[in-house]
Structure 1
Amino acid sequence: MTEVEIEYCVPCGYLDRAVSVQRALLTAFGERLDAVTLRTGDHGVFRVTVDGEPVFDIADDEFDVDETVRRARQYV
């Protein structure tokens, strides 16, 4: 099974984005996921990894929930 981690910047107010990605991943992949974990962070971080493999990093990519789900699909 697959584990997803969403690390998000608390001071930046990225909780809503993190929850949106979490919901989209659970909707798309449901029972194929062991966990979709939210991990608090700071310094502008917003990163999504699937089994340790990065699929989104706000430092490199523009935020797009649908694109993040598409990138995650190859690991699920």
Structure 2
Amino acid sequence: MTTVEIEYCVPCGFLDRAEAVQHALLSTLGEELDAVTLRTGDHGVFVVRVDDDVVFDTAEDAFDVDEIVRDVRGRL
């Protein structure tokens, strides 16, 4: 099974984004995932990792929940 980690910037107020991604992943792929965890960070970080491989980084990609879910699905 697969583990997803969402690291988000607390001072930036990215908790809502992190929760939206977590909810979308669990609603869509919940039976295929071991865990979807939230990890606090700072300095503008918003990164989604699947088994330690980065599938989304806000420094490189535009934020799109549906695209993140597709990218995670592609790693399963």
Q: Could you say whether these structures have the same fold, taking a TM-score greater than 0.5 normalized by the shorter chain as the test?
A: yes
Which consecutive unaligned segments of at least 5 residues does structure 2 have?
none
Which consecutive unaligned segments of at least 5 residues does structure 1 have?
none
Give the structure-2-normalised TM-score. 0.97
**3-state SS in 2 of match to 1:74:** helix
Which residue in the other structure is 1:42 paired with? 42
Compute the RMSD of aligned alpha carbons: 0.6
Identity value in percent: 70
Give the structure-1-normalised TM-score. 0.97
Q: How many residues align?
A: 76
Q: In structure 2, what is the Cα distance between the partners aligned to 1:20 and 1:14?
A: 10
Which residue in the other structure is 1:30 paired with? 30
**Corresponding letter in the other structure for 2:22:** Q
Could you list the runs of 4 or more consecutive aligned residues of structure 1 that deviate by over 6 angstroms after TM superposition? Answer: none
